[in-house]
Chain A
Amino acid sequence: NILLETRLTDPNGLADFGDLNPNNYMLVADSAKVNNVAYLVQEYVQVRTGAVKAKETKVTDYSGTFALTVRSYNNNQPLKNIGVIIIPSNKFNYASTTAANLKVADFSGVTNDTGLITFKIPSNKQYSVYLYNTVTNASYNYNNSVSVQKDATVNYLMNIY
């Protein structure tokens, strides 16, 4: 794909590309933030002769579901109340403290009675998952390469000692 032009959206969220030759184009917005979380929007639009294409997109539609289950290495039982932090991979440092990881997190929470926690996260964005003890804040485990496709669900398992 060849980059034709870039525009900034105005205060109403609108980017006007004006007159274009009839064609299929790809639109990419990689810095759209909702609730301080950046989403990656990429979609195709068709421009037709003599027509005005007014495309409108809700940024958080570019999401998928990340369903994480945490189990014990020792007996494979689900573990509840495990702290879970979802961090953009480019902001994650395995040596960071839990507090530091929480500051750069996009999402966080704790596992439920079945060891499960579910997040709606931006699609096509690389994340690290960091597990910690909610009483001591000690790190349990992390994984450095999680992502979901738009509208898809990823079921994921992590074990801790």
Chain B
Amino acid sequence: VIGRIRHDEL
């Protein structure tokens, strides 16, 4: 999943 990533990490 390269590209726009949902930032679900801290």
A, B bound: no
Contact residues of B with A, CB < 8 Å? none
Contact residues of A with B, CB < 8 Å? none
